[in-house]
Amino acid sequence: MCGIVGWVDWNDDLTRRADVLERMTETMEHRGPDAGGTWLSRRCALGHRRLSVIDPANGAQPMVRAALDDMDRQYVIIYNGELYNTLELRDELRRLGYRFRTSCDTEVLLVSYIEWGKMCVERLNGIFAFAVWSVADEELFMARDRLGVKPLFYRHDGERLLFGSEPKAILAHPDVRAEVDAEGLAEVFAIGPARTPGHGVWRGMRELKPGHCLTFDRNGLRVSAYWRLEAALCEDGESAAAARVRELLRDAARRQLVSDVPVCTLLSGGLDSSALTALAAEYCRETGRGALHTYSVDYVDNERHFRAHAFQPDADGPWIERMSDHLDTVHHAVRIDTPELVDALEAAVVAKDMPGMADIDSSLYLFSREIKKGATVAISGEAADEIFGGYPWFHREEMLRADTFPWSMSADLREAILSPELARVIRPREYIAERYREAVAEVPVAEEEDDGARRMRRISYLSITRFMPTLLDRKDRMSMAWGLEVRVPYCDHRLVEYVWNLPWPVKTAGGREKGILRRALEGVLPTDVLQRKKSPYPKTHNPAYLASVRERLLARLDDPSCPLLPLINTAKIRELAKDPRSATHLPWFGQLMSGPQLFAYLLQVDFWLRHYRVSLAV
């Protein structure tokens, strides 16, 4: 994985702006600590920071290559990601006459573009965000992977295009102000910590949506989709579906275990991570790689304070030990203490360039730091719940029928914590409702489906396109802050496409959430692990965490210079801070964010406004 930045300008001579390009590129050093490079011409400037995973000795970027039949036609690429079908693509291109100087996927991707042009994206299996500059045509082409695992932001100002893996690269340009308008504030306070697809929060900044590509030349900027979910009835029964899911998942896992640097898995003892760990251990045995290293995260004294509830029925510890012993892995248990967790809330904001999932972010940030000490690549079970239907909102009638995003049903609370002035400007209820209507209008349907099937398809689509990006964004930003590459086999587009069209009764085989995945993994996992109820990413249950974030927030509210004060209803926040029920009975976002996370989120907003010196254009 890497960090990319770029600048195309029809009015400026960019060969004179090397210092600005260097400044933008250096903001991505954490994403690519191993090497850096830039490429400059009058109209295009490209920068790259490299994290070496495949062929570390070669593959420096920006990479330049000429067309096969015309050495005067040159193309330059910068690329962040991994292609999992590199070998197949290279073999096909060799048959067409191409020769390769490296074994890295960057060269294969560049040659794929030279040969097939913009249609090359349809052939790619992987996670990626890349840009190719055609020197002769003076044309920039950018694309992002189908599920949006790798980030890509841009800012278009008529005659100029700036882009980068993270907003901080664009904000480093001297002409870009750290401004947020009313719509950006609506994203932060009404939708946050999620984001509307394509929205960059910062004024004038956009995110290239998953499955989309962008072309910029003297005729302007054009954005189009090259991939989207399509509805079609699948007639496979449970046996056939289980066999197909097992085949696709095993193939995805094996492809993503290919690396020239150490690989580990994240192991929680749950169904999703245990499955990938079992497949990885199998691969390590077959390829003679030795024992697989696994990592888990928990919190100091969590065992004393844990209380089972519907969203988190049991603790992970015994299940992690069960799977590590079963697979004979070398396990590393990372434990985070409360003061460190709270202190890292600010670092998590810098990693993301905006407020996030509070301690859910900061814990992953600290967890990634520890993993990086022993590995460069980690395999994670992210996205299985969205794809196979594991979340409560797939199974609870009141959430299924909610006329809003089911992971964020607290519109009353969101409006109540805002100052009356900000509420009038961003109109949070209307904003949420409009974003929800937009999302529902996108849902593809099959003519033959009844109302019940369409309802399940709708909740699945919303989860994949609106909830999952929040978790993928979090995973990328917190891990890449330490130069750790996290791969997500459940996001293999072939698996997603297949499971998306399975009938709901097949997905819930055996009357269980993610039933078809459980059946597919029979013989792969022990029976007790196979039947374990879903348990989400662990969060701290230590009351010291609530006390700490509450006290810090109240102290900030006592400061007359606090930038939060004009934006929030301080009396309401103080009232919530006094209510002991806020720890467990205050829904904010998803399964993990309640009272403590709301207080921590507001702390992150406060730090974000101060650290970035955000100017509010409202």
Q: Residues 217, 246: one domain?
A: no
* CB-based contact 526:518 (threshold 8 Å): no
Q: Is the pLDDT of residue 312 over 70?
A: no
How many degrees, rounded to 5, is the angle at CA 212 between CA 207 and CA 216? 75
pLDDT digits (tens, 9 = 90+) for 140-190: 999 999 999 999 999 999 999 999 999 999 999 999 999 999 999 999 999
For residue 502, give both structure tokens. Answer: 């399975």
Looking at the predicted structure, is the pLDDT value of residue 600 above 80?
yes
For residue 276, give every residue at least 6 positions away whose Cβ sits within 8 Å of its Cβ, in sequence order, or none.
253, 265, 379, 380, 381, 489
Residue 1: pLDDT over 80: no
Q: What is the mean pLDDT of residues 568-572?
A: 96
- List Cα–Cα distances, 470 to 28, 462, 467, in angstroms: 21, 12, 6
Q: 151 and 288 share a domain?
A: no
Is 2 a known active-site residue? yes
Q: How many CA atoms, within 13 angstroms, populate the side-chain half-sphere of residue 370?
A: 18
Confidence of residue 315 (pLDDT cuts 50, 70, 90): confident
pLDDT at 309 over 70: no
Q: What is the pLDDT of residue 308?
A: 57
The answer to whether residues 299 and 540 touch, using CB atoms and an 8 Å cutoff, is: yes
pLDDT in tens, 317-348: 899 999 999 999 999 999 999 999 999 999 99
Q: What is the DSSP letter of 292?
A: P
| Residue type, position 155, single letter | R
Residue 576: inside a domain: no
If asked whether residues 166 and 243 sit together in one domain, one would say: no
Instruction: Tell me the average pLDDT across 515-542.
Output: 91
Half-sphere exposure of 478 toward its Cβ, with a 13 Å CA cutoff?
A: 28
Is 565 within a domain?
A: no
**Does the pLDDT of residue 305 top 80, yes or no?**
no
266 pLDDT exceeds 80?
A: yes
For the stretch 469-502, pLDDT in tens is 999 999 999 999 999 999 999 999 999 999 999 9
Summarize pLDDT for 16-72 with one digit per residue, the tens: 999 999 999 999 999 999 889 999 999 999 999 988 776 676 778 999 999 887 777
Same domain for 112 and 38: yes
210 occurs within a structural domain: yes
* Domain contains 230: no
pLDDT (0 to 100) of residue 256 = 96
Would 418 be classed as within a structural domain?
Answer: yes
Mean pLDDT of 302-314: 64
Is 233 inside any structural domain? no
Residue type at 247 in one-letter notation: E
CB count in 10 Å sphere of residue 97: 9
How many residues make up the chain in this entry? 618
pLDDT at 115 over 60: yes
Among 104-118, 282-296, 450-464, 536-550, whose mean pLDDT is lowest? Answer: 536-550
Cα-to-chain-centroid distance, residue 284: 27
Decide: 271 and 521 in contact? Cβ < 8 Å.
Answer: yes
Q: Which of 530, 555, 574 is the last residue of a domain?
A: 530
Tell me, what's the pLDDT at 582? 76
Are residue 137 and residue 100 in the same domain, yes or no? yes
Q: Are residues 337 and 468 in the same domain?
A: yes
Q: Tell me the average pLDDT across 286-303.
A: 91
Contacts for 514 with CB less than 8 Å, ≥ 6 apart: 271, 384, 385, 388, 389, 390, 507, 508, 534
**pLDDT class for 535, splitting at 50, 70, 90?**
confident
- The reported pLDDT for the residue numbered 332 is 97
Residue of 2, 44, 284, 562 with catalytic role: 2
pLDDT score recorded for residue 306:
62
Which residue intervals of 209-301 are DSSP H helices? Answer: 238-256, 271-287
Indicate if 133 and 259 belong to the same structural domain. Answer: no
Q: What's the mean pLDDT when you consider all of the chain?
A: 94
Final residue of a structural domain among 514, 530, 546? 530
pLDDT at residue 310, as a whole number: 52
Structural domain includes residue 582: no
Q: Which amino acid appears at position 512 of this protein?
A: R
Domain presence at residue 107: yes
Are 209 and 246 in a shared domain? Answer: no
Q: Which residue has the higher pLDDT, 205 or 543?
A: 205
For the chain, give the percent of residues with pLDDT over 90.
86
The reply to whether 211 and 301 lie within a common domain is no
Domain endpoint, select from 495, 513, 530:
530
Q: How far apart are the first and last CA of the chain?
A: 37
Q: CA-CA distance, 281 to 289, in Å (whole number)?
A: 9
Instruction: Kindly report, residue by residue over 219-256, the tens digit of the pLDDT.
Output: 999 999 999 999 998 999 999 999 999 999 999 999 99
Q: At what angle do helices 428-442 and 451-462 cross, to 10 degrees?
A: 120
pLDDT above 80 (res 584)? no
State the CATH number of the domain containing residue 95.
3.60.20.10
Residue of 47, 50, 59 whose CA lies nearest to 14: 47
Number of separate helices (H) and strands (E) present in the chain? 25, 19
User: Are residues 257 and 174 located together in one domain of the fold?
Assistant: no
Indicate the number of domains in the chain. Answer: 2
Predicted local distance difference test score (pLDDT) of residue 81: 95
pLDDT of residue 591: 83
Q: Is 495 in the same domain as 402? A: yes
- Among 533, 457, 12, 500, which residue's Cα sits nearest to residue 227? 500
Supply the range of the domain harboring residue 43: 2-184+204-225
The residue behind tokens 């994206």 is 121
One domain for residues 209 and 254: no
Q: What is the arithmetic mean of pLDDT over 191-211?
A: 97
Q: Map 123-146 to HEC letters.
A: HCCEEEEEEEEECCCCEEEEEECC
Q: What is the CATH number of the domain that holds 508?
A: 3.40.50.620
Q: Tokens 């492809």 belong to which residue?
A: 255
Cα separation of 24 and 154, whole Å? 13
